[in-house]
Structure formats: structure tokens, C-alpha cells
Chain A
Amino acid sequence: MKFLDCNCFVGTPVHRDIWSPVDAKALVGQMDQAGIAKALVWHIAQLELHPSVGNDLLLRDIEPFKDRLIPRLAIPCPHTDEMGDMDEWFARALSTGVGAMQICQPRGSYLVRPEVVGGIARKLLQHQIPLIYSIERGGNWNELYDLLKAFPELRIIISDLGVWPADRMFRPLLDLYPNVMVEISQYFVPGGVESNVMRYGAGRLLYGSGFPACYHGALMLLTAHAKISEADKAAIAGGNLQRLIEQVRP
């Protein structure tokens, strides 16, 4: 089974934590050990310092490993001078081989409301770029519901769900919006994968590890032994992410 990791990051965090940080080289070493073919990767400085600085650090770090690591770029505020011309910003981002984007939401970040991110949403739709929306890293469900109401076609990957079972939160979105997906690094409720595959098909779930804050193997073992077909496992393990990345339009 080929695993592609939808959720891992590099860089040194501002605060010390129990987990040890990694750079791109160490990440690839750990991926080799675990058996992960490729990863969509972001940089902690995108969240903790500034999206643009974090993007630069990310691209520099992963440059030697472009065959394994795909950039997940953070989108700066479109209403200040931080982004510059939006068309040019997206053109530059696409030239990096970006696989997905995210809006980091530390204190002081811009609001992810339709009035604020409308231009960004239209560009994401134009290029079919998935937007990764992290619940645990600053997001909230009401905001996400409002965003999708305004832009129902957006390709949204809901990420970092929190470890309490979140089906009551995300299932209404899966019911309403066909392009909404769930990254499962924090979704390990027994029977959850099986139940969602039965209801929505395997195309709505994506393997993610949360590495280096979490272990690669946790959701690998769960995915490998879910009571679903081998084809469905392969889709969750990496097929869905591969398809999404290939569908990004230049």
C-alpha cells in the first residue's frame, strides 16, 4: 500500500515541546523508515512567524527533496500589502509545484470570512487547489460552515480535528458539499473510517500523520486494517491525495 502523508511539517517551533522538530532531510529519513512515499509538507514558521517567511523557509528546505516533498503554502492577507498582486502571487505559488494551501490562523491573523477571503476562494476554485483547514490550529467550525455556504465548490480538507470524535461536526459538511474531505491524523474513533466509507465512499478521507508532533505509524496501522476493501484503503492511504495534487491546474 502506498502512503502519501497529507499532514506533516518541518521547522523549529518557537516553544519547546515533547516532540523533536525535523528539517526536510530528517523528515525524509523518517518517511523512509515508516514507508511513506511522499508528503504534503508545511513549515511551522508559516504559523508562528509569517506566512510569506514560512513559505520561503519551506521551499528552501524541501528543494533537494522535490520528488518526495510537496509544498503546502500559506496564504498571506489579501487586503494589506503582504500578498501583493493576487494573480502574480498565485502564479508564483503554482510554479513551485504547490499541492495545497492553508490559511494559518494565529492571533492577529485575518478572518476566514467570505467578505475577507472571497478573492482567495475564487483563485483556489480557478486552479482547483485544495485548502487545508486546521481545526486545532486556530480554526473553528462555525467559520468553516460560513465559508462553505458562500463557496460550496471549494476543495476543503478539514485537518487536525482534535481527538474527540468529530463526526457530529464534519458530517453535515460532507452531506452538503461534495468537495469537502477529512484528514485523519486525529480521527481514530473505532469504526469511524468504515462508517464514513460506507456512507460517503473512500474518496472523502485522507491519511495524515501530524508528524513530527505525532507518530507516522498510528494511522498507518489503523488504515491498513480498517474493515474496508483494499481499493478503499489505497485511496485513503494515498490515492486521494495523489489525485487532488494532479488535478491542480496551472
Chain B
Amino acid sequence: MICDSALSREFVQQGRSASCPVIDVHVHLGPVYAGWMPKWSIDGLIDTMDQAGVEVSVLCPHSALFSPDIGNDETIEAARRHPGRIRGYLGINPAHPRNIEKDLSNFGRNRDLLAGLKMLASYHRVLMDDDAYRPAWEFADAHRLPVLCHTWGSDGSEQSLRNVATRHPNARIIMAHALHGLWDDAIDMAKRFENVHLDLCAVLDDRGPVEKFVKAGLVKRLLFGTDNPWFHPHQGIGALLSADLTDEDRQDILHRNARRLFGATIP
């Protein structure tokens, strides 16, 4: 079923793979205005991870992105409760520079729980090369941190990230959703900047982009992400099994590339 490969057989029979422990680099947590999700609690999230063989999730709760009154408290709490399974992105909201300053100054204290930063620029209505983000980019550059950046079509993120990638070559930029729809531009970005990676969250519900990225020679720059608790990892894994890829490609995408990018900051 799905395709004739060892990895496919393993996932189809067991729902998970011992030889391919998944690392999900794009995860959220908790309630949000956009829709009801039955497993948006931390326990629900861990249950979904177990179901699909996701070893580690790197997450930024919805509250950290949409409620400055709560901020990053849930991020720290989730990683503290599940140190072997969860790492956090510090959510950066450019509308509240004092919060950024405070969160970044506390980053070192929670270094064992945090893996990077998360920016949701188009939702926060500030481009990623705006001065409001500068302290966060300088911090990421100085500490060689991964930064998960929401990018979607022509939302302005492409040009702003080109500027940022040039200014901060040590920041490890993850283009969430890989500029969804502007696939050629995403390829150009990843080829031009060594510090740019492409996250396949919400990319795998379209047939074709992942093969295009691999054909462009970018298989080592692709990361598996799901937006969990929005999308079940089985949906993305099933898509990868159907796609015209080798099991080696799938292993790179599902865990090896993330392991290389995040290094010792994830369990």
C-alpha cells in the first residue's frame, strides 16, 4: 500500500518507523481562534507524536504568537514537562519590543529548553527586515540559532528574508511553508543562501513541490514540519511515501536534516 519501499511498509504496518524517528520542526500548541483541534493540549500533542513515531517536536504555542499577555510562558512549561520530546521556539512579536528584550535576556537561563526563535511576520504585520526585529536577528546571528519564519506566497517575506539572510549569515533561517506557492523563488533562496532551509509544513498537501525541491538538489535542506495540532504527521508522512522519492531522501527529510541543523539543542 502507498508505495513499494521498506520505509513505506514499516509506516503502513506500524504507523511509525524504528529506523526513521521523525523530527517535527514546526509545531504549535493550545487553543487558537482559527478552528477547533481535538488534540491541541500538550498531552494530546504527545499522543499524536507517539502515534506517528515523532521523536521530537520543536514548538511555539499559539499563545506565544497571539497573546502578549501570556507570552512565552507555555513554551517553557511544555519543554520543561517533556524534556526528552519537546523543545521550544521563543515567539517574537515585533509589536512589543520590551517583551522581546526581556525574553531574549532570559534565553540563556532556559537554553536547555529552547532551540530557536519563531517569527510570524505577516500575521504581526511587520516585515522581517524591519528594525523592530533587529534585536532578535542580532541575537540569532550571535548564537547561530535556527529561526522559524512564516513565509507564504507574496506576503513580503521573500525580499525581507533576502535582506536578513545577507545581514545575518550565522542565523539559521527556516522558511516555514517554503514560500508556499512561489516554489521557484524558494529554490532560488535556498541555493543563494547557505543559511536558508525549507520547511515542508503545508507544502505536502500539494503534489509536486517536494519532488521539485529534491530535483533542484536541495534534499539536504528540507525539513519536516506539520503545524501539529493543525495537521497530523501521518498526512505529511503519507504524502512523502507517495511522492517520487527514495527512502534515503525521506530519511533526510524526516529527521537527518533537522538533527544536523539543530545539533545538540534537541534531544
Tell whether, in the assembled complex, residue A221 and residue B36 are in contact, meaning their CB atoms are under 8 Å apart.
no
Q: Mark B191-221, 1 if CB is under 8 A from A, else 0.
A: 0000000000010111111001000000000
Tell whether, in the assembled complex, residue A215 and residue B12 are in contact, meaning their CB atoms are under 8 Å apart.
no
Distance, CA A12 to CA B51, complexed state (A): 38
Given the complex, which residues of A lie within 8 Å of B8, measured CB to CB? Answer: 217
Q: Report if A216-B232 is in contact (Cβ < 8 Å); known contacts: A18-B212, A190-B37, A224-B15.
A: no
Distance, CA A201 to CA B219, complexed state (A): 41
Given the complex, which residues of A lie within 8 Å of B209, measured CB to CB? Answer: 18
Tell whether B242 is near chain A: CB-to-CB under 8 Å.
Answer: yes
Q: Mark A182-213, 1 if CB is under 8 A from B, else 0.
A: 00001011111011000000000000000111
- Which A-chain residue is minimally distant from B4 (CB atoms)? A33
Among B48, B234, B241: residue with most chain A CB under 10 A? B234
- Which A-chain residue is minimally distant from B227 (CB atoms)? A163
Given the complex, which residues of B lie within 8 Å of A168, measured CB to CB? Answer: 35-36
Count how many pairs of residues, one from A and one from B, have CB atoms less than 8 Å apart in the complex. Answer: 128
Tell whether A220 is near chain B: CB-to-CB under 8 Å.
Answer: yes
Q: Report if A218-B37 is in contact (Cβ < 8 Å); known contacts: A18-B209, A225-B15.
A: no
Tell whether, in the assembled complex, residue A163 and residue B231 are in contact, meaning their CB atoms are under 8 Å apart.
yes
- Which B-chain residue is minimally distant from A20 (CB atoms)? B208
Given the complex, which residues of B lie within 8 Å of A190, measured CB to CB? Answer: 37-39, 44-45, 48, 228-229, 231-232
Tell whether, in the assembled complex, residue B44 and residue A218 are in contact, meaning their CB atoms are under 8 Å apart.
no
Tell whether, in the assembled complex, residue A189 and residue B238 are in contact, meaning their CB atoms are under 8 Å apart.
no
Tell whether A146 is near chain B: CB-to-CB under 8 Å.
Answer: no
Given the complex, which residues of A lie within 8 Å of B232, measured CB to CB? Answer: 188-190, 192, 222
Given the complex, which residues of A lie within 8 Å of B229, measured CB to CB? Answer: 189-191
Given the complex, which residues of A lie within 8 Å of B234, measured CB to CB? Answer: 188, 218, 221-222, 225
Partner of B202, one of A163, A165, A224, A227: A163
Given the complex, which residues of B lie within 8 Å of A163, measured CB to CB? Answer: 202, 205, 230-231
Q: Mark A38-59, 1 if CB is under 8 A from B, else 0.
A: 0000000000000000000000
Tell whether, in the assembled complex, residue B208 and residue A18 are in contact, meaning their CB atoms are under 8 Å apart.
yes
Please report the total number of A residues contacting B with Cβ < 8 Å. 37
Tell whether B243 is near chain A: CB-to-CB under 8 Å.
Answer: yes
Tell whether B3 is near chain A: CB-to-CB under 8 Å.
Answer: yes
Tell whether, in the assembled complex, residue A19 and residue B207 are in contact, meaning their CB atoms are under 8 Å apart.
yes
Given the complex, which residues of A lie within 8 Å of B237, measured CB to CB? Answer: 221
Whole-angstrom distance between the Cβ of A147 and the nearest chain B Cβ = 23
Q: Report if A218-B205 is in contact (Cβ < 8 Å); known contacts: A18-B183, A227-B51.
A: yes
Distance, CA A124 to CA B260, complexed state (A): 57
Tell whether A87 is near chain B: CB-to-CB under 8 Å.
Answer: no
Given the complex, which residues of A lie within 8 Å of B206, measured CB to CB? Answer: 18-19, 213-214
In B25-65, the 8 Å CB interface with A consists of: 34-39, 44-45, 48, 51-52
Tell whether, in the assembled complex, residue A167 and residue B11 are in contact, meaning their CB atoms are under 8 Å apart.
no
Given the complex, which residues of A lie within 8 Å of B202, measured CB to CB? Answer: 163
Q: Report if A165-B36 is in contact (Cβ < 8 Å); known contacts: A220-B1, A221-B241.
A: yes
21 contacts between A and B (CB under 8 A): A19-B208, A33-B3, A34-B242, A166-B35, A188-B234, A189-B232, A190-B229, A190-B231, A192-B37, A192-B38, A214-B206, A214-B207, A215-B207, A215-B239, A215-B243, A216-B2, A218-B242, A220-B238, A221-B234, A221-B241, A225-B51
| Residue positions of A touching B, CB distance < 8 A | 1, 17-20, 33-35, 163-168, 186, 188-192, 194-195, 211-222, 224-225, 227
| Residue positions of B touching A, CB distance < 8 A | 1-4, 8, 11-12, 15, 34-39, 44-45, 48, 51-52, 183, 202, 204-209, 212, 228-232, 234-239, 241-243
